[in-house]
Amino acid sequence: MSDPTNAPTSEPFDVPAQKLPRHIAVIMDGNGRWAQQQGLPRIEGHRRGVASVRRTTEECSRLGIEQLTLYCLSSENWKRPPEELDFLMHLLQQYMIEERGTIMRQNVRVAIIGRREGLPEDVLQEIDRTVEMSRDNTGLRLCLAINYGGRAELADAVRRIARQVKAGTLQPEELTEETLASHLYTAGMPDLDLMIRTAGEMRVSNFLLWQVSYAEIWVTDLGWPDFDEAQLHAAIRSFASRDRRFGGLTD
């Protein structure tokens, strides 16, 4: 599950295209702890984390990864101090504005998953503008999970299905795994192949609970501000070396 050394590598990236994950998700953990270790305020860790977002997005785009999903704000993060939440909202709004040129140059398509309720209106306006501006781009899909919770996603999906059953447009016996998947926030997106977590924690933290079922998991002890291209390459190399059986057997 984890890289025992977490040592960056300078070796050329040599994973063949057919062994690359289509969809990578990242739990960007450890910003606050990183800042405290540096003797800096917690919010400085979030600021430095934006550079890691930029590096990771650009490298995934360069490698031809189909989708990168980043866990930006969980539904549980609202328990944090108000000043930290305000700063996170400011960073998100600033990112949406300042990165538009790069997003368009690199042909990146931005998508958002999570609940809109509770997000400031001015932040939602900038998110919507960036999503709409990049809608027709055909490169990497950058999916940002904002005010997201895996259990909430499942509850929302079941609620929509229940309405269809009540209306008579869907019969209970017609309900399949595919039906439920088509009602998730990630409907139409590729299956998750690789989940990366920084800062050494061995849990998925209510992130993509349905989608992670058969994903490979890779954990590094480094905090998110220290995550770079070498770490991304190490995670992808680990993914490419694994025997993915999906519950079956191999020869």
Residue 90's alpha-carbon distances to 5, 116, 123, in angstroms, are 35, 16, 8
Catalytic residue ranges? 29, 77
At 108, phi and psi to the nearest 5?
A: -85, 135
One-letter amino acid of 234: A
DSSP string, 54-99: HHHHHHHHHHT-SEEEEEEEEGGGGGS-HHHHHHHHHHHHHHHHHT
The H-assigned helical ranges of 99-149 are: 100-105, 121-133
Cα end-to-end span (Å), the chain:
23
